[in-house]
Amino acid sequence: MKTLLEQPGFLAPSGTIGADFSYLLALVFTILFLVAWGFAKKAQGTRHHKLVLVSMGTMMVYFVAYYYARSLGVLSFEGREGFGGPDEIYKNVFVPVLTIHLILVTLGMILAFYMIPQGFRASDRTGGEYRLKSEELKMKPRTFKIIMFSILGCWALVQALLLATRQNPFGASVAYGLIFLTVALVVGLEKLIEKLLPDGARRHRILGRTTMIIYALILVTSTATYLMLYVIYPLKL
Ligand code: HEM
């Protein structure tokens, strides 16, 4: 697998199969999200929600593939992350673009996990078509408590497994702790969002558009990173 992913790519002269494949997947899931936005704009709620779920699935495949490729070093994270251009461009262009890209990816993932259940909670299905309900949308205090305690329970379980199975669980404990903390913070943020945007339909439209714009920007930054790494400034061997 490692040798296959390291073979010359098909998109750019200096690219690898691994880099090209992961870029193409990123392209596909972003376009699917944007098409899903188009369906929502045309008031086709059911096609919109189906495509959002498919794109979310593709995005997950992408992340697994990306992580797999990166951990194999295929995208050459060694040295200056495979960047072969001048120091000035590396410091002032490449690093800022890559940093913005990683921040947007994190935000996009968090928002997608928030928006999917919110979409179902904020809509009604009439005559086979999902429609947003224009009314106050609040999470019941009981549901809020159940979700928070479930997150706490899952974290405790993972922590216990790490302690039982690893010799040095510190690094993994911090990483999992941060992941569960982020999930709990996003759920906690719901209370603030409920105050700022009480109407469920308006909340879905405003946060949904923000999420879609973030996806479009992810496409721009990943294209820029790909072009810099494999077309404009590839590593000279
Ligand atoms: C990542 C997840 C999602 C995002 C980013 C998203 C985004 C959006 C956006 C931007 C709009 C408004 C379009 C516009 O006027 O510009 C919208 C409308 C809508 N969304 Fe979502 N959505 C998501 C998930 C869902 C899910 C899971 C459902 C489930 C039923 C859903 C149901 C709807 C409905 C019914 C509309 C209204 C369409 C109409 O105007 O009739 N969405 N969504």
User: What's the pLDDT tens digit per position in 83-120?
Assistant: 889 999 999 999 899 889 989 988 988 898 899 999 99
Condensed to tens digits (0 to 9), the pLDDT of residues 193-209 reads: 999 999 999 999 999 99
CA trace torsion 82, 75, 210, 94 (10° rounding): 0
- For ligand 1, whether the C-beta of 234 sits within 6 Å is no
Q: What is the tens place of the pLDDT at every residue in 160-201?
A: 999 999 888 888 899 899 989 988 998 898 999 999 999 999
Residue closest by Cα to atom 33 of ligand 1? 45
**CA angle centred on 87, ends 85 and 90, rounded to 5°:** 70
Ligand 1 closest atom vs CA 212: 5
Question: Which of 68, 95, 52 has the alpha carbon at shortest distance from 208?
Answer: 52
Which residue among 37, 48, 126 has the greatest number of ligand 1 atoms within 8 angstroms of its CB, and so is best to mutate? 48
pTM of this structure: 0.84
